[in-house]
Structure 1
Amino acid sequence: MLQLQSGFGVFALLMLAWAFGENRDRVSVRQVAIGLGITLLTAVAMLKLPGAAQAFGAINDAVGVISAASRAGTSFAFGYLGGAPAPFDIKAPGANFILAFQALPVVLVMSVLTTLLFYWRILPPVVRAMAWLLKRTLGVGGAVGLSTAANVFLGMVEAPLFIRPYLAQLTRSELFLVMTGGMAGIAGTVLVLYATLLAPVLPDAAAHFVIASVLGAPAAILVSLIMVPETEARATGGELADPGQIAVSSMDAIVKGTAAGLELLLNIIAMLIVLVALVYLGNAVLGLLPHVGGEAITLQRLLGYLMAPVCWLLGLPWDQAVTAGSLMGIKTVLNELIAYVELAKLPADALDPRSKLIMLYAMCGFANFGSLGIMLGGRTAMAPERREEIAALGLRSIVSGTLTTCLMGAVVGLIS
Structure 2
Amino acid sequence: MNFIIPIAGLFIVIGLALLGSNGRKQVKYKPIIVMIALQFLLAFLLLHTKFGFIFVSAISKSFEKLLAFAAEGINFVFGNLANEGQMSFFLGVLLPIVFISVLIGILRHFKILPIIMKAIGFVLSKINGMGKLESYNAVASAIVGQNEVFITVKKQLGSLPEHRLYTLCASAMSTVSMSIVGAYMTMIEPKYVVTALFLNLFGGFIIASIVNPYTVNEEEDLLEIQTNEKQSFFEMLVEYIMDGFKVAVVVGAMLLGFVALIAAVNSLFGMIFGWTFQEMLGFVFAPFAILMGIPFAEAMTAGSIMATKLVTNEFVAMIELGKVVSELSPRTVGILSVFLVSFANFSSIGIIAGAVKGLNEKQSNVVARFGLKLLFGATLVSLLSGVVVSFVL
Partner of 1:153: 143
Q: Is the 8 A contact 2:100 2:148 kept in 1?
A: no
Q: Which ranges in structure 2 are unaligned for 5 or more consecutive residues?
A: none
Q: Is the 8 A contact 2:140 2:149 kept in 1?
A: yes
Partner of 1:302: 280
**Separation of aligned partners in 1, 2:266 and 2:354:** 30
Aligned with 1:182 (options 153, 172, 178): 172
Partner of 2:328: 351
Q: Is the 8 A contact 1:287 1:297 kept in 2?
A: yes
State the Cα RMSD in Å.
4.5
Q: Is the 8 A contact 1:369 1:398 kept in 2?
A: yes
**Separation of aligned partners in 2, 1:4 and 1:148:** 31
Q: Is the 8 A contact 1:308 1:324 kept in 2?
A: yes
**For residues 232-311 of structure 1, what are the structure 2 equivalents within 5 Å?**
235-238=219-222, 240-242=225-227, 248=233, 256=241, 260=244, 264=248, 271=255, 275=259, 281-289=264-272, 296-311=274-289
Residue 131, structure 1, aligned to residue 121, structure 2: yes
Q: Which ranges in structure 1 are unaligned for 5 or more consecutive residues?
A: 84-97, 291-295
1:306 Cα shift? 0.9
Q: Which SS does the other structure have where 1:349 is aligned?
A: helix
1:237 Cα shift? 3.2
**Separation of aligned partners in 2, 1:29 and 1:274:** 36
Compare the two structures and name the one with the higher helix fraction.
2
Partner of 1:94: none
Q: Is the 8 A contact 1:170 1:235 kept in 2?
A: no
Partner of 1:202: 188
Partner of 2:211: 227
Give, as a single letter, the amino acid of the residue that structure 1 aligns with 2:189: P
Give, as a single letter, the amino acid of the residue that structure 2 aligns with 1:369: F
Do the aligned partners of residues 201 and 162 (structure 1) sit closer, same or farther apart at CA in structure 2, a change above 3 Å counting? closer
**Separation of aligned partners in 2, 1:155 and 1:408:** 19
Q: Is the 8 A contact 1:162 1:243 kept in 2?
A: no
| TM superposition score normalised by structure 2 | 0.76
Give, as a single letter, the amino acid of the residue that structure 1 aligns with 2:135: G
Give, as a single letter, the amino acid of the residue that structure 2 aligns with 1:238: L
| TM superposition score normalised by structure 1 | 0.72
Instruction: Report Cα offsets for 1:272-291 as digits up to 9, x if no partner.
Output: 7973x65655454444457x
Instruction: Report Cα offsets for 1:139-194 as digits up to 9, x if no partner.
Output: 212222222232222344543444455556656643432232122122344x24xx
**Separation of aligned partners in 1, 2:321 and 2:249:** 21
Do the aligned partners of residues 166 and 124 (structure 1) sit closer, same or farther apart at CA in structure 2, a change above 3 Å counting? closer
Q: Is the 8 A contact 1:6 1:413 kept in 2?
A: yes
Q: Is the 8 A contact 2:176 2:197 kept in 1?
A: yes
Q: Which SS does the other structure have where 2:188 is aligned?
A: coil
**Separation of aligned partners in 2, 1:20 and 1:216:** 19
Q: Which SS does the other structure have where 2:328 is aligned?
A: coil
Q: Which SS does the other structure have where 2:38 is aligned?
A: helix
Instruction: Report Cα offsets for 1:319-360 as digits up to 9, x if no partner.
Output: 22222222222322333343334334x233243444333223
Give, as a single letter, the amino acid of the residue that structure 2 aligns with 1:14: I
More displaced 10-residue stretch of structure 1: 36-45 or 322-331: 36-45
Report sequence identity in percent: 23
**Separation of aligned partners in 2, 1:353 and 1:268:** 36
Do the aligned partners of residues 100 and 228 (structure 1) sit closer, same or farther apart at CA in structure 2, a change above 3 Å counting? same
Do the aligned partners of residues 374 and 391 (structure 1) sit closer, same or farther apart at CA in structure 2, a change above 3 Å counting? same
Q: Is the 8 A contact 1:21 1:227 kept in 2?
A: yes
**Separation of aligned partners in 1, 2:391 and 2:65:** 32
Partner of 1:143: 133
- Aligned residue pairs: how many? 387
1:15 Cα shift? 1.3
